[in-house]
Amino acid sequence: MERELPTSLLMFIASRAAADRIFRTLQDAGFTDVTIAQSRLAMGLDPGGTRLSVLADRAQIAKQTATAIVDKLERAGYVERVPDPTDGRARLVRMTARAEAIIPLARAEEARIEAEWEAHLGPKRMAQLRDALTSLREITDPYR
């Protein structure tokens, strides 16, 4: 008898499938110089920029690993390091125009995924899923 998977694992499977699809879409669009690890770290960037330590924390990786990934993204022209306007000693990692060109492609694929999920689940169950996950953010998302 197969055990019932925990809800957290079921959420992870769906999330990973969506992230992989978005990554493949970007690869197909010609953004082939970004790895999946780099894209996962970049997903943690805030619009105005993010401190490296926060990026590392969001990606659940060591700061040294995050530094190496950001170095590669910077060399490829996707991010830049800029002074933090709130702390002259600190720096922010911020998307460049090249990285921002990816966002509409990713958002379009997100919309296709959501439409497929809604077609599979039905509008009512999809709305319930969204409501439940939004509610869970209250106790699970330290960055909300």
Of 105, 42, 44, 91, nearest in space to 69 by CA:
42
Tokens of 61: 């990786």
- Using DSSP's 3-state secondary structure scheme, residue 83 falls into strand
pTM, full prediction:
0.84
Q: List phi, psi (to 5°) of 90.
A: -100, 160
pLDDT value at residue 142: 82
Tokens of 84: 């933090």
Report the CATH number of the 32-96 domain: 1.10.10.10
Strand bridging mode 87-95 / 50-51:
antiparallel
Domain layout of the chain by residue ranges: 1-30+102-144, 32-96
Task: For residues 108 and 101, give the distance between their C-alpha atoms in angstroms, rounded to a whole number.
Answer: 12
Task: For residues 105 and 99, give the distance between their C-alpha atoms in angstroms, rounded to a whole number.
Answer: 11
The pLDDT tens digits along the chain (144 residues) read: 688 999 999 999 999 999 999 999 999 999 999 999 899 899 899 999 999 999 999 999 999 999 999 999 999 999 999 999 998 889 999 999 999 999 999 999 999 999 999 999 999 999 999 999 999 999 998 877
pLDDT value at residue 113: 98
**How far out from the chain centre does Cα 36 lie?**
10
